[in-house]
Amino acid sequence: MFRPRPSVRRQTYVLVYALIAIFMVLAHGPILDAPFYWDETGQFIPASLDLYRTGTVIPHSTLPNVHPPGVMAYLAAFWHVFGFSIPGTRVAMLLLASLGALFTFLLAIELSRDAPGAPALTALALLCVSPLFFAQSMLAQLDMPAMCFAILALLLFLQDRFRASALACVGLVLAKETGVVAVALFGLWLIAEKRFRQATWYALPVAALALWLLALKVGTGHWMGNAEFTRYNLSYPLNPGRLGVALVRRLYYLFISSGHIIGTAALIWAWRRLPLLRNRPWRVAAAFVAVNTVTVSALGGAVLERYLLPVLPVIYIAFAIALRALLPKPRKWAGPALMACLVAASFINPIYPFPYENNLAFLSFVDLERKAAASIQSRPGIVATTFPMSNALLHPEFGYVDVPRQVVELKSFHRSEVTRLGEQRPDMMLVYDTEWDPLHLLGSAPSQWLLHTFYNFERQLTPEEVASALSMQVVRTWNSQGLKMTLLIRDGVPAFRVSALSKGM
């Protein structure tokens, strides 16, 4: 039911947005020149550059896939105005992230009516310091922009502004295709409430996504862009074992990790004490979290935590309301404790394997890439390594080398791949850990059985094992916050070349 809302001047929204944007840019200021990272170099920056340089929405310098061109079009437009640069790209993404933070603040106001205290400010603060959002807010990937449009669409839906919500959903599905599940939720919710005319607005984003899929089919001959992407992200995750593990990982990240367990405990305590957590807006919000969480558990072979970004603001709003409802003594420490855990989680890695992009560990990996690339970029010879280091050496625009290197790319550092490389006899090789595993959990017998059974996992060779297999020698190892990258040189290289490589490292 529509409820009157106090009018807010546009200047107020602009001022709040400006304050958030200033904070975000200043907080990321020291790292705005960080070279592009992992999937940025593999998909999103090449696709954006194709659109920027040639005007084609279907990329040709990387494999096309089902991801819509919305974010790539935004970056291409930004570069046309301000020119292509890495810091400029970071700022462009931070401006979008600031919009997402503003929408989170407004959604928190909408969902916290009659709640004690000022939970909207708390929710905004929790989001801005959370490790996943802080890291992703500067990366040129799809999930933070999808969060921006998803939260706006949910806010407008709860305000009964269905046409505007549907238009926000158009932006959502053109940012990331999985946003269509939110579209389905909103449309079906209105149908269940017998508001059929309003539900028809949500056909617009479905039509927009269908047009993109049709363009992919015409341009590539495949509805999803390529068959391998479809297999890995649609059929591969649906194995019951993999699906169960993915869902457990999702629930763990949302409700336990990074100090979230504090907010979850507060939420459980407040559930029966705050009727507003069971009203229609919160039922819609809870359904929004549920359908998105199940969807990204069932789709996407990589099981990356960044896929959860669209639901993270709702989780933090719920935590903020629950924290304000606590008794005075626990309220005094629970909120600051959660905030402190989130800040610490940006700098302290968990003891179990995780994607580096979940916090600032991605900067440590980028630092290793940059040091290794700088050390070998002027040295003659062929370099062997895997993605993403291979892309870093091949493309100067990614921020690692001045000129492209001749690279032999391996799929992995598994024994079968390394053995095949022996025939090509590269002059140098860069070996690094693709997984964070300080306690060697992946090497334990239960983990080996689980990973081999459900994921066909194979242990990668150590640098020393690679050197032995290829008759190479280890000449340098770089370390950064527990991550390492090792340079190997082929045996028989004249001594002056080895000393030249070692000099100044």
Boundary of a domain, candidates 336, 355, 374: 355
Q: Check whether 492 has a pLDDT greater than 80.
A: no
Burial category of 422 from C-beta neighbours within 10 Å (exposed 0-12, middle 13-18, buried 19 and up): exposed
What's residue 239's pLDDT?
85
Confidence (pTM): 0.94
342 and 366, same structural domain?
Answer: no
Lowest mean pLDDT among 66-70, 341-345, 459-463: 459-463
Phi, psi of 474 (to 5 degrees): -80, 125
146 and 123, same structural domain?
Answer: yes
Q: What is the mean pLDDT of residues 45-65?
A: 96
175 and 53, same structural domain?
Answer: yes
Contacts 24+ apart (CB under 8 A), 396-399: 397/45, 397/49, 397/84, 398/35, 398/36, 398/40, 398/41, 398/45, 399/33, 399/34, 399/35, 399/36, 399/86, 399/370
214 and 127, same structural domain?
Answer: yes
Contacts for 377 with CB less than 8 Å, ≥ 6 apart:
393, 400, 401, 402, 403, 405
What's residue 493's pLDDT?
55
The domain of 381 spans: 360-502
Boundary of a domain, candidates 315, 335, 355: 355
* Alpha carbon distance 252, 439 (integer Å): 19
Q: Check whether 488 has a pLDDT greater than 70.
A: yes
What's residue 241's pLDDT?
86
Q: What is the mean pLDDT of residues 216-224?
A: 94
- Residue 6: which pLDDT band, with cuts at 50, 70 and 90? low
What's residue 499's pLDDT?
40
Q: Check whether 448 has a pLDDT greater than 80.
A: no
Q: Check whether 344 has a pLDDT greater than 90.
A: yes
* DSSP three-state, residue 428: strand
What is the DSSP pairing of strand 383-386 with strand 483-490? unpaired
Phi, psi of 475 (to 5 degrees): -120, -15
Compute the mean pLDDT over every residue in the chain, rounded to the nearest whole number.
92
Q: Check whether 498 has a pLDDT greater than 50.
A: no
DSSP string, 105-162: HHHHHHHTTT-SS-HHHHHHHHHHH-HHHHHHTTS--SHHHHHHHHHHHHHHHHTT-H
Q: Identify the bridge partners of residue 383 per DSSP, sorted by sequence position.
A: 407, 428
Which two tokens mark 435? 């997984």
What's residue 497's pLDDT?
47
pLDDT digits (tens, 9 = 90+) for 377-406: 888 899 999 999 999 999 999 999 999 999
What's residue 327's pLDDT?
85
Boundary of a domain, candidates 299, 326, 355: 355
Cis amide bond preceding 388, omega within 30:
yes
Q: Check whether 502 has a pLDDT greater than 70.
A: no
370 and 258, same structural domain?
Answer: no
Q: Check whether 505 has a pLDDT greater than 90.
A: no
What's residue 7's pLDDT?
61
* Alpha carbon distance 6, 110 (integer Å): 12
